[in-house]
Structure 1
């Protein structure tokens, strides 16, 4: 009889999405087992940037500063078009504003993010992390999932019985394949090779001036390339090579020659660390949930890199899913709540895919104009300014509003989506806005949202505070009460109004003014029943009234 391990949640895949989910479940007090095929965290930078929304979560989890220290300076969040890495540096984009968050975007490589998450997980007793372990197969039934795992270092096989399985196992997801879930969109827009190398050019004044250098030589017989900074020192770099059909990645000898030529240093010491082939895709899974199995991160969506939404979308996926799993596991919520994961996150993935594809086309147009900039300077200048639509993307990362899911829609107009600019709103479905609570700017409203619902009450909302206190004492999903000390934030509620905010920081319900306590109780029940996906009309479960 094979060994059988029982755990509430089995996570397959130990990249940023899988590790974030294990960390989140630990914060909620729920056990998980994470199976990752690799023996260690990644040694390749892969993605190179955590958006503000991801950094906000890292702030709440206590790893923001560690992640930020491994990245480039804040002012480096720009791109540079140039003829060579030793000049001329022809044009830079403009830095993005950072007023709507306590945790601005960080230009940090994925290997550093994984190091921070792995270190945090080492202090999470409820997260069982098993590396060098692959998923063989799984079967699901009405009460759970039974998976067979294979330990690669000694061939040992055993089974795991979980109530839910979450596939965070990347673009070639074995979980997705086993489910038979198809992907919408082109599987291969281009074939690329990332060459990760070490070359100490920290003595140059410009090495930390940009996240990436798009090298477009004036001599058009030479290859275009993108060179990305991957750390704060100026000694590790990523060169991105676009491969033609049938072409192999350049050899280490050719890489060394190319890097020396780009930097203009014939004897520069260059050491290739590793190389990774990858396909540029623009795909979204047709289903994010099949029974008791969920897909998250690259297993659910694959974007072109322009805009940097891959890692970030995966972290947001599991941030959305974790609290819902916990609520259902504790029997405080209906199964319909889990259907809201796909209802909320799949439209975001579709939007991020379209955004990334547009950004890639924007870069392609800019490249064409850059080559012709001498005869048509105005066009390339306009297209350089147009790159802000890619790099200034707070609206894309923080401004998406869920309209179908675990919310109580109040019928108010949904603000139009603006990928570039974030427009704060407390409408149901939106991220509750950041503003500083104290004059010293040490506490943000973002800090309030972690493992419980939060009833945010206006300064004069005594009635809502009383109703919330009664509700908090009688429900199994934790509820905290927060009283706004002022109304300086970009809110539509009045001083006697309130909003109910979910653990993931999105507004679930809004009362612009004072109202009946029953409205709050009904809203709480409705959200846990699936919000807009709830199957029955609900009567408040709280019998005590104010």
Structure 2
């Protein structure tokens, strides 16, 4: 096994979060090495819902079409509630906060259902296309030490037992709720455990015709039925999450196929259903948050940083957002145009959001028959940190926030840059979001030689930034003037500085007011 003795970033964990981080680091040109203990990708569906914000990130990575093709059709993104699959009094609802006909669209990349066992192979293939054998399955992180300048790690080939030392400037734990990285860094978790305990049964059964008039992405089973929920990947392949007694009770016998088949039949409401059990696992619902996302040269992302109840479908999506936020900051620090202090903004921005998402998901768990899936919740994230220059009226010292009442587009610093549909121009630029990245992007409505000159000055100083105009000789806004209305900047010389992760860092009304280069250096905590 060829293992690098040194790398800029060592990623522990190759689930959706670690693989997304790897692909983004490759996009930014960052040398890295990813180790994943499992020899293959997940065999279990696990997380299933991919939110609009995650799909926007995948669009930026060039993966949106592949994920959408692999997922369930939009016509099936409904949520069923009934005592079993044949309950005549069932209720079926759709996604919350998805704009209806006549309302302005908020994204070109709405969410969909694509289960983790389908998503992971797509992400793994993409990460390996970009990084080759630097993305390694069947290899686990054994231990590490942090000397304040970097980490010395020991990794092991699981099959052979051979061990190797890897020196990394930064170690990122994307290794799940039982994180070796978090434990080794001495970072504690706070919050309750055991909110629920479930037996997950992956099975095959001919249920397509049974649910033809009520096809849904998830089937929530209510009293007086067996409880839990079922989900489908196609007509025959299903998953059943059966609620178990508290941890004090004995674990179920996962080898008793007759018992498992009875559970599925009772939940479906079909006593003679032809069931073939393919796989099982047990899992526990927790609501926990790491005390910090960074300790010295160690960082946490995804489930290593937060255990989010699945009631709402935000766990994996929050982790993908972590990777998006962290990747460009690691790129800036490892390239030398930002100081290490920039990485403190990662926890300042992401941890308060995870806290809010945990609270929302925990409340959903208490009201399982009433909550709705909000596809656009993560679009509402508004960051507050040193990596955002907020206006004089903003509470720059306050925490990052989410708005569960709905997404309201705008251009305030810290918020996601709004989507405005574009027409004409080069292929692949159907939205303002398509103009962003891979470095900083200075967006103006029309071409501005003064802003272009400022961006070129900053780029010559080593900071990746370009000035781009929404409107060109061929490219136009589908709704002329919408960008200026959303941003509240009708001045022809106004500009919006957008970070590589699509969040607004700074707004300016005139290139003569404040030079761009000092602003960028301030945002990057650069000397």
- Give your verdict on TM over 0.5: yes
Question: In structure 2, what is the equivalent of residue 120 of structure 1?
Answer: 126
| Secondary structure of 1:468's aligned partner | helix
Cα distance, 1:225 vs. partner? 2.7
Match of 1:501 among 498, 503, 508: 498
Indicate yes or no: 2:140 matched with 1:134.
yes
| Secondary structure of 1:143's aligned partner | coil
Q: Which runs of 5+ in 1 are unaligned?
A: 367-383, 531-537, 539-546
User: Comparing 273-282 with 248-257, which one deviates more in the overlay?
Assistant: 248-257
1:219-250 deviation per Cα after TM superposition (whole angstroms, max 9, x unaligned): x4x52231122x2x221111111111314336
Whole-Å Cα distance in 2 between the matches of residues 13 and 49 of structure 1?
20
Question: In structure 1, what is the equivalent of residue 388 of structure 2?
Answer: 407
CA 1:43–1:417 in 2, change beyond 3 Å: closer, same or farther?
A: closer
1:256-310 deviation per Cα after TM superposition (whole angstroms, max 9, x unaligned): 2233344455543322221121111111100100100100000000011111111
Question: In structure 1, what is the equivalent of residue 108 of structure 2?
Answer: 102
User: Comparing 419-428 with 87-96, which one deviates more in the overlay?
Assistant: 87-96
CA contact (8 A) 1:34 1:127 kept: no
Runs of 4+ with >6 A deviation? none
Cα distance, 1:115 vs. partner? 1.1
User: Comparing 415-424 with 117-126, which one deviates more in the overlay?
Assistant: 415-424
Indicate yes or no: 2:301 matched with 1:318.
no
Cα distance, 1:360 vs. partner? 1.3
Whole-Å Cα distance in 2 between the matches of residues 253 and 405 of structure 1?
58
Instruction: Tell me the matched-pair count.
Output: 499
Cα distance, 1:416 vs. partner? 7.8
Whole-Å Cα distance in 1 between the matches of residues 317 and 367 of structure 2?
21
Whole-Å Cα distance in 2 between the matches of residues 346 and 146 of structure 1?
26
CA 1:265–1:191 in 2, change beyond 3 Å: closer, same or farther?
A: closer
CA contact (8 A) 1:147 1:159 kept: yes
Question: In structure 2, what is the equivalent of residue 238 of structure 1?
Answer: 239
Question: In structure 1, what is the equivalent of residue 456 of structure 2?
Answer: 469
CA contact (8 A) 1:22 1:127 kept: no
| Secondary structure of 1:294's aligned partner | strand
CA contact (8 A) 2:294 2:344 kept: yes
Match of 1:481 among 467, 473, 477: 467
Whole-Å Cα distance in 2 between the matches of residues 3 and 356 of structure 1?
40
Q: Which runs of 5+ in 2 are unaligned?
A: 100-104, 472-476
CA contact (8 A) 1:12 1:167 kept: yes
Cα distance, 1:517 vs. partner? 6.0
CA contact (8 A) 1:31 1:127 kept: no
Whole-Å Cα distance in 2 between the matches of residues 133 and 81 of structure 1?
42
1:355-381 deviation per Cα after TM superposition (whole angstroms, max 9, x unaligned): 111211221xx3xxxxxxxxxxxxxxx
Whole-Å Cα distance in 1 between the matches of residues 266 and 245 of structure 2?
22
User: Comparing 340-349 with 450-459, which one deviates more in the overlay?
Assistant: 450-459
Indicate yes or no: 2:386 matched with 1:392.
no
CA contact (8 A) 1:72 1:208 kept: no
Whole-Å Cα distance in 2 between the matches of residues 248 and 450 of structure 1?
49
CA 1:200–1:411 in 2, change beyond 3 Å: closer, same or farther?
A: farther
Question: In structure 1, what is the equivalent of residue 222 of structure 2?
Answer: 216
Question: In structure 2, what is the equivalent of residue 375 of structure 1?
Answer: none
CA 1:259–1:443 in 2, change beyond 3 Å: closer, same or farther?
A: same
Indicate yes or no: 2:402 matched with 1:432.
no
CA 1:350–1:258 in 2, change beyond 3 Å: closer, same or farther?
A: same
Whole-Å Cα distance in 1 between the matches of residues 117 and 56 of structure 2?
19
Whole-Å Cα distance in 2 between the matches of residues 392 and 323 of structure 1?
27
Match of 1:259 among 264, 281, 288: 264
Cα distance, 1:36 vs. partner? 0.7
CA contact (8 A) 2:454 2:515 kept: no
Match of 1:355 among 360, 363, 367: 360
| Secondary structure of 2:507's aligned partner | strand
1:442-464 deviation per Cα after TM superposition (whole angstroms, max 9, x unaligned): 61112223321100012274432
RMSD: 2.3
Question: In structure 2, what is the equivalent of residue 277 of structure 1?
Answer: 282
Give me the TM-score of the superposition, normalised by structure 2. Answer: 0.89
Match of 2:431 among 434, 440, 444: 444
CA contact (8 A) 1:460 1:496 kept: no
CA contact (8 A) 1:190 1:280 kept: yes
Whole-Å Cα distance in 2 between the matches of residues 45 and 262 of structure 1?
19
Question: In structure 2, what is the equivalent of residue 370 of structure 1?
Answer: none
| Secondary structure of 2:515's aligned partner | helix
Indicate yes or no: 2:229 matched with 1:226.
yes
| Secondary structure of 1:482's aligned partner | strand
CA 1:118–1:417 in 2, change beyond 3 Å: closer, same or farther?
A: closer
CA 1:405–1:253 in 2, change beyond 3 Å: closer, same or farther?
A: farther
| Secondary structure of 1:336's aligned partner | helix
Question: In structure 2, what is the equivalent of residue 343 of structure 1?
Answer: 348
Whole-Å Cα distance in 1 between the matches of residues 201 and 330 of structure 2?
39
CA contact (8 A) 1:461 1:497 kept: no
Indicate yes or no: 2:445 matched with 1:458.
yes
Whole-Å Cα distance in 2 between the matches of residues 63 and 242 of structure 1?
35
Cα distance, 1:81 vs. partner? 1.1
Whole-Å Cα distance in 2 between the matches of residues 350 and 391 of structure 1?
18
Match of 2:337 among 320, 332, 335: 332
Whole-Å Cα distance in 2 between the matches of residues 89 and 118 of structure 1?
42
User: Comparing 434-443 with 493-502, which one deviates more in the overlay?
Assistant: 434-443
CA 1:470–1:197 in 2, change beyond 3 Å: closer, same or farther?
A: same
